[in-house]
Amino acid sequence: MENRLNGPGEGRPEAEELLRLARREIGVKESPPGSNRVKYNTAYYGRETGGSGYSWCAVFLWWLFQQAGAPELYYGGRKTAYVPALLAYARRQGETAETPRPGDLVCFDFNGNRVADHIGLCESFDGEYVTTIDGNTGSSSENNGGEVMRRRRHKRYILGVIRPAYGEDEMTEQQFDAMMASYLARRGELEPSPWSEKAREWAEQNKVLSGDGQGMGYQRLCTREELVQMLYNAREKS
């Protein structure tokens, strides 16, 4: 197979390896438009195909894992072009996640019927928007556009996240610290919930919370040190 990343016995690829392969496919289109005639379908079905019954967003991902030498990471090494079946299998295997990270397979529901109708490979997620590389998408149709493209969508469209068992290196302490710092910073920027409005007004009026000069950061995590200080402030005001 062309562009193979790992041969048999060479171990599982890392997520970034699969992403590099996917990026090289951006711009590939079915020909003629609307035909579903594309090289990924040809590889999947073993012959040239065409017609409405050959949607290929999931087939594109199957092809990527084949090229990466890790077919077992897609549907247990079997074939399916049906996104709901792929998501159901991942859930049974415990191969799902709450929020996407690079290399995850993101299942989308665009019409709100709680059935996955499209899937893409996660390139990044900023907490609000996910960027994916998708097969069979386009500017005229999210899930039947006929092209490999990079897409950016709001998290409200995410129905499920599949996390393949990549052969990732062990996370270093420095990487973990950086990840946690980023996570805590994002939490500190979140708006407080409406139900705490009266309590927040009281705390601010009585200076139970002093803030850090950049807002109160109501959604950030609280250390014991901060908790003790808040209790002390409340006692002083009582």
Q: Which pLDDT tens digit goes with each residue over 166-205? A: 985 555 677 678 778 877 778 777 888 888 888 888 888 8
Does position 88 have pLDDT exceeding 60, yes or no? yes
pLDDT at 66: 96
117 in helix, strand or coil? Answer: coil
- Asked whether 121 and 134 are in contact (CB, 8 A), the reply is yes
pLDDT at 8: 35
CA distance 87 to 185: 31
Locate the DSSP E strands across 57-193: 96-97, 105-108, 118-125, 129-137, 147-154, 158-162
pLDDT at 212: 52
CA distance 115 to 53: 18
Mean pLDDT to the nearest integer, 113-122? 97
Q: Which residue has the higher pLDDT, 211 or 184?
A: 184
Mean pLDDT to the nearest integer, 72-85? 97
Query: CB under 8 Å to 139, separation ≥6 — which residues?
Result: 145
Mean pLDDT to the nearest integer, 112-120? 97
Handedness of CA 119, 125, 128, 132 (dihedral sign): negative
Query: Quick one: what percent of the chain has pLDDT higher than 90?
Result: 61
Mean pLDDT to the nearest integer, 74-90? 97
pLDDT at 173: 75
Residue 215: band (very low, low, confident or very high) from pLDDT cuts 50, 70, 90: low
149 in helix, strand or coil? Answer: strand
